[in-house]
Amino acid sequence: MLCTKAFKNMMVLYALFLIVSQGHAASHDIDKLLIRLQHDDPKLRLSAMEELGKIGDGDSVMAIMKVVENQGEDWKIKIRAIKLLAEIKNSMAVDFLIKVLDDPFFTYDCPALKS
């Protein structure tokens, strides 16, 4: 019985270790993606944004929202960012999309909404 309790305690500690180590890896990955999001190559920015969309946590959503707000960003990338935010189904993203798509200055400049 003592052995079983010690084994359970060891398994709990191991599980906690796995959870913590995965969290550090995920934050490290997000940091790399955020750096790639600033790259000159639009394809690299787009792939970084796609990966952030798969992660879908608060930091990722905020990074994608910044892409939409970036006035110098290519519209193809902005439109994909909007689609990603809708796919993530995060309440923060939904509120942001309502605000952005209701903004006449934003929608006036968007070529996809003009056609």
How do residues 27-62 score in pLDDT, each as one tens digit? 668 889 999 999 999 999 999 999 999 988 899 999
Expressed as residue numbers, the domain containing 75 is 30-114
Task: Classify residue 5: in a domain, yes or no.
Answer: no
Task: Classify residue 19: in a domain, yes or no.
Answer: no
Q: How far is residue 55's CA from residue 23's CA, in Å, rounded to a whole number?
A: 12
Task: Classify residue 72: in a domain, yes or no.
Answer: yes
Give the predicted TM-score (pTM) of the model.
0.70
Indicate which CATH number applies to the domain containing 107: 1.25.10
Rg (Cα) of the chain, in Å, rounded?
20
Number of domains in the chain: 1
How do residues 1-11 score in pLDDT, each as one tens digit? 445 666 665 66
